[in-house]
A and B are shown apart, each in its own frame.
Chain A
């Protein structure tokens, strides 16, 4: 049973396209996150949602729009993809904000050509 699952694992697309990455967690957690890992392996938070409410929006271009239909899902939609969007995107979840042990999905490797 995968705790945090994201699809697809790999995504190759052309510049200018719109794409979505889906994330689901079956841990019963209240908070979900999106992180971006660049080519140097640096991990940086993009968004967090707590019970479907946006908590963190870390200066991400508005081409990126997270959507949380329920607290078990946090999808990431990206409009007008650019070359610089190529990265690995990780979804994560945690039970609460305070002690915040975050559990990560396996990542989606996005390549924009």
Chain B
């Protein structure tokens, strides 16, 4: 079945640093989504990408839908302590009933 490989698995950074994480797959996806999960909460959508090559920003976050449709990255600039959490990529293929395939997550720790 489809799988997403998300890396890195975890990151420990200093406040103010930039962060980059990515997801790759052997399958082509029509939609890429990036979610953040805080402890004890459900995933919250950060950015949605619908077209190959699309580059979208949401404040300090920027994400891109890879040209091949098999990958996506998320960058966080000038990290702050509240960026701590688990970031998930998720891909969707049309005509599969809305099924989202999730990456394994990137756990981000930010040291003040």
Contact = CB atoms under 8 A, between A and B. Distances in A.
Interface in A1-39: 4, 31, 33
Contact of B99 (A42, A45, A101, A106): A45
A113 interface: no
Interface string B78-112: 00000000101010101011111010110100000
Contacts of A31: 98
B33 interface: yes
Given A41-B86, A43-B102, A101-B33, A48 B97 contact: yes
Contacts, number: 65
Interface residues of B, number: 26
A99 B37 CA distance: 21
A44 to B, nearest CB: 7
A45 B100 contact: yes
B40 A33 contact: no
A51 interface: no
A60 interface: no
Nearest to A33: B98
B48 interface: yes
Contacts of A62: none
Given A105-B42, A106-B42, A42 B105 contact: yes
Interface of A: 4, 31, 33, 40-45, 48, 50, 55-56, 58, 90, 92, 94, 97-107
Given A44-B102, A56-B98, A107-B42, 20 more contacts: A31-B98, A41-B105, A42-B105, A45-B99, A50-B97, A55-B97, A58-B99, A90-B42, A97-B97, A98-B94, A99-B48, A100-B92, A100-B98, A100-B100, A101-B48, A102-B100, A104-B35, A104-B43, A105-B42, A107-B41
Interface of B: 31, 33, 35, 37, 40-45, 48, 50, 86, 88, 90, 92, 94, 96-100, 102, 104-105, 107
10 contacts: A41-B104, A41-B105, A43-B43, A43-B102, A56-B97, A100-B33, A100-B100, A104-B43, A105-B42, A107-B40
